[in-house]
Amino acid sequence: MPCVFPSPRRPGLYRGGQRCAALAAALLWAWLCMLALPVGSMAASEALPRPQATVARCFDGDTLKLTDRRVVRLAGIDAPELHAPQGDKAQYYAREARKALTERVRGRKVTLRAAGVKHKDPHGRWLAEVLLEDGESLNEALVREGAAFFYPHRDLSPQLQERLRAAQREAIAAKRGLWAQLLSQPVAQATYLGNKESLRFFPTDCAAVQHIKPRNRVYFGNLMDAFMAGYAPARVCPFWPLVP
């Protein structure tokens, strides 16, 4: 029905104009409600294409390959690197992290669930929360057992971020997995500078900290404080201990 608004010369159309005005107000309200949703909440509820899959292999502690050849990056978490940026050696707990992931999912059926606004990363890998056959979140389970750490992103589902942050605090408090030794290393006693905008933290002697705006700076007295606050290590100026 075309929207005809009231006119002094056409009083019979007043009721129709009221209906049109009410419809316009309702549409405006719905649009405002969508804008008020947290970033990632709508996309995270969407199903990924071909969500049912079987795991073929695990590349490291946070990336796996499916039997249909898709590569999946577990969203919201990170694991120590098998090939460290500062050399060809593995980072501390990298091999254990890959083993933990492999034992849980290799050859098993999983379900992929959208985790935020982006469905793929710059490398073309699918970003997902992976659910095991019993419904358990693999991402959350790995963080809770200390095989990986929370890696926040602004476009990640707020609900998933909160679960991962809580799982990490639990793992740190219980000194599970990588936390058993990492927090006793010399790097654990150093001070760090975080960026409130990116939620990354850096060694205070890293040249990159000069680019952090003063209003975005947050200081951490030690490594545990930075992780407990939900920040993750920046890629530049790596400090993670290496193993032969």
Which positions are catalytic? 73, 81, 125
Look at residue 162 and give its three-state secondary structure.
helix
Enter the tokens of residue 40.
Answer: 């990632």
The C-alpha atoms of residue 194 and residue 27 are separated, in whole angstroms, by: 42
Distance of CA 178 to the CA centre of its chain: 19
Query: Burial code of 127-152, b = ≥16 C-beta within 10 A, e = fewer?
Result: bbbbbeeeeebbbbbbbbbbbbbbbb
The C-alpha atoms of residue 159 and residue 220 are separated, in whole angstroms, by: 25
Nearest to 111 by CA among 78, 133, 88: 133
Cβ count near 161 (within 10 Å): 23
State the DSSP code for 156.
B
Enter the tokens of residue 71.
Answer: 């590569």
Nearest to 69 by CA among 125, 2, 109, 17: 125
CB 178 within 8 A of CB 233: no
